Amino acid sequence: MDKFYTVSTMMIVFSMIIMLISVRYNIGLTKRRRYASAILFGLIIIGVLCEWSGIMLDGKSSSLIPLHLFVKTVELSTAPFTVQI
């Protein structure tokens, strides 16, 4: 299950990187729209990687609990920003 989830996460991250590159070189978008889209895709990447990290840290050593809490906090904090843009 972990391997499948890792591959799925990698596919999402790579697709967001492709979208970042596409938006960056799109001359049809205004500068403001390109900037907002780049931030949005960046936040999606951060959220997905934090979700993956949280799942991988689940059930690990108790010394990793603060890291797990930090990762989950960042993950849940990025979601409202993606709605605002």
Do 58 and 20 touch, CB atoms closer than 8 A?
no
pLDDT in tens, 60-85: 888 889 999 999 999 998 878 776 65
pLDDT at 81: 75
**Rounded distance, CA 19 to CA 37, Å?**
9
Domains in the chain: boundaries: 2-84
Q: pTM value? A: 0.85
Averaged pLDDT for residues 15-40? 92
Q: Which two tokens stand for residue 5?
A: 């989830």
**Choice between 11 and 79, residue whose per-residue pLDDT is larger:** 11
Do 38 and 23 touch, CB atoms closer than 8 A?
yes
Do 25 and 54 touch, CB atoms closer than 8 A?
no
pLDDT at 58: 86
pLDDT at 52: 94
